[in-house]
Amino acid sequence: MQRFTDLLSRVARFTFWPALAFALVMAVLPKPPSLPIDDLGDKFAHMLAFFTLSLLAGVGWPKASLVRAALWLSLIGAGIEVVQMIPFLHRDSDWRDWVADSAAILVALIPVTALRMIGGVRTESAKA
C-alpha cells in the first residue's frame, strides 16, 4: 500500500504544476480558447480547476498542512480576480469566481482527508 501511495503522490506532484500553469494562463488570456465545459458556465470551470488543483496538492504533498494549502490556493484564486481587473486583458473580474474557487477547495478537502486517513498519513500539525 505504501508503494502505491508514494507513486500516487509523485504523479500528483508532477501533474500539479502543469495544471496550475494551465489554470493561470487560461485565467489571463484575453480570448481563451473554447473548451467543452464552456456550456456548463464560468463558475463550473472555476470550481473544476480549483477542485483539481486542491486534490493534486493534497495528494501530492501528503504531509503538508491542508489548511495552509487551502489558504494558498484561495489566495491564487483571489489573485486571478485582481489580475483580471487589468483593462487590456478584456476579462471580467468577479468576486463570486473567488467564492466558487474557495468553495471547490473546501469540498476537495473531503476526499483528500479520506485518502490521507486510508493511507495512514500524519500531517505536520498532527505530529505535534
- For 19-38, write each residue's pLDDT tens digit: 999 999 999 998 888 888 88
Extents of the domains making up the chain: 2-29+42-121
Integer Rg of the chain from CA? 16
pLDDT score, position 34: 83
pLDDT score, position 122: 62
pLDDT score, position 128: 43
Whole-model pTM over 0.75: yes
Q: Could you tell me what percent of the chain has a pLDDT over 90?
A: 66
Give the model's confidence band at 124: pLDDT under 50 very low, under 70 low, under 90 confident, else very high. low
- Answer whether residue 88 shows pLDDT above 50: yes
| Cα–Cα distance, 120 to 128 (Å, whole number) | 16
pLDDT digits (tens, 9 = 90+) for 36-63: 888 888 889 999 999 999 999 999 999 9
Amino acid at 90: H
Comparing CA positions, the residue from 16, 28, 2 lying closest to residue 90 is 28
